[in-house]
Amino acid sequence: MIPLLVGTALAVASLCYVLYPLIRPNAAFQTIPSRAPGREPGSSSVDALRELEFDRQTGKISDSDYGTLKARYTEEAVSVMRAAESGSLACPNCGPRPEGDAAFCSNCGARLLA
């Protein structure tokens, strides 16, 4: 009888441990910071440009893909840096946005970058 009770207690404890993240309130709605603290605005775009250049030098990406991606990342980095200079938020797709307290672009719905 004792082994049955111990086994049942272990099974219930294991089930609670596994299901806790699923039933915890607000687990799916945690805020995601727009950028890492202490990092410059647009640094993720600059990092993407550096990685893209490395991929091109190592032969992992074709020249046509390189040109397309470089243009996109450069435009994104420039728009974010310009928005940071003006003190406004920037959408990676639409550029600087007039919303001062929004987390997402009112035009396309992308996360705004600070």
pLDDT digits 0-9 by tens, 16-60: 888 887 777 655 555 545 445 545 555 677 788 889 999 999 999
84 contacts 96 by C-beta, under 8 angstroms:
no
Up-side HSE of residue 84: CA atoms within 13 Å toward CB? Answer: 15
Does residue 79 surpass a pLDDT of 80?
no
Judge whether 26 lies within some domain: no
CA dihedral 52, 53, 58, 60 (to 10 degrees): 30
Count: domains in the chain: 1
Across the chain, mean pLDDT equals 77
pLDDT of residue 99: 67
Q: 101 versus 11: which is more confidently predicted?
A: 11
- The domain of 64 spans 40-114
Q: Is residue 77 part of a domain?
A: yes
- pTM for the complete prediction? 0.45
Asked if residue 72 belongs to a domain, the reply is yes
Question: Other CB atoms closer than 10 Å to residue 35's CB: what's the count?
Answer: 14
